[in-house]
Structure 1
């Protein structure tokens, strides 16, 4: 049995293409892996606070020096990090907002990229500690950006995943969602075709 952690980040609940891709992923994954455990964390309905002094204090101060807010911030980060550590498969669903990922997803990443937990510093540089995991990134984009200088999603997330030791990363882009003509249907069909190969 594998554990699958799904991170939703679309601000929209209705008519969200990235959420539609997630539901397709879940359906196909359950059919192929009925014994697997799937956990969904929705950053729109349960947002994670952005990195602040309280979280830094929770990470860096000895237990006896933390105030209640710092301790609470640390416990929240621990919960999120434990979910990631326990997962065999990570799925991030991310619409493109202003050429990049939603700030809610960035806040989640800021909670789980932790020195000594998900990566460590060595004499030869940082080393990721989450090797052996797989990641899938499901994106929805109004235009067509894959491989262009305007795509700040895929390069950033590939770098972040590699930084914590996840090198097996598959991107599935639904592009052209806001373009006219048949771009929406074509982009969605291409994404669904690639999703069908995943499970």
Structure 2
């Protein structure tokens, strides 16, 4: 009997090693393997609960790229990109020598070349985190509308901060790579967020 079959037959110890986990998963049929991986990595918080369903999904701030350009000034766009660059240069996200830090002009260039569209799902991602009645909206409703700067090859996979490794993404796709579905949304709300 192979080691894979032995691993699948017996239960996993309370604190399994990585090798034990890989052997156990490798012995499972593909459908069971997918189910188990989904259980280990739960769905994003954006899946609306009862409370979230009661909050109406706000209308998009911008209907198109041209609408975004006509309703914002160059100064506003540069200020927003400067905030994005400042956040991106924090040690947690893109730590590296100062020579590798990105500037507001870099962020603006990436935004303009992408025309505000997420590289992964094609959502128009040019909004800031919206507030309804002074409270932050559940971002599952609008996560695909919020613009973000992402790495094509992630930093923890050896990617760097070079401009050819950076792309425009919505917050949703940038946070959960497994949720990247081309054309997943119309104007940013996840499909389950609407009335059931």
* TM-score, structure 2 normalization: 0.22
Structure 1 length normalisation: TM-score?
A: 0.21
* Structure number with bigger Rg: 2
Give the structure with the higher percent strand.
1
